[in-house]
């Protein structure tokens, strides 16, 4: 049976520690991420700022992390299992 080749770091992305980012840069990164799908957060009962705060809390508690995808040149927030 042939083994599937393991992914390299380039394919998997690079984890970016949120505490190493300037707080304004981090906030703008989160704002861009949560608004990617075009959601109108007011229609679901929260504001963009509410959603940003939720992501910030998840980062601080270790329930999420930032991963930069070198191939697509985008940063994503990934849930971490607890």
Question: 3-class secondary structure for 53-69?
Answer: HHHHHHHHHCCEEEEEE
User: Do the domain assignments include residue 32?
Assistant: yes
Question: Which pLDDT tens digit goes with each residue over 3-12?
Answer: 444 454 445 7
- Per the structure, the complete domain to which residue 71 belongs is given by 9-79
Task: Please state the domain count of the chain.
Answer: 1
What gap in Å lies between CA 34 and CA 58, rounded to an integer? 13
User: Where would I find the H helices in the chain?
Assistant: 9-12, 23-34, 48-61
Instruction: Please report, for the domain that includes residue 21, its CATH number.
Output: 1.10.10.610
Question: Which pLDDT tens digit goes with each residue over 33-51?
Answer: 988 876 666 666 788 899 9
């Amino acid at each position: 049976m042939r083994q599937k080749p393991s992914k390299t770091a380039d394919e998997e992305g690079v984890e970016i520690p949120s505490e190493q980012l300037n707080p304004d840069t981090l906030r703008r990164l989160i704002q861009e991420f949560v608004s990617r799908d075009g959601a109108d957060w007011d229609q679901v009962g929260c504001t963009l700022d509410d959603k940003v705060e939720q992501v910030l809390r998840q980062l601080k508690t270790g329930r999420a992390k930032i991963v930069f995808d070198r191939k697509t040149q985008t940063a994503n927030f990934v849930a971490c299992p607890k």
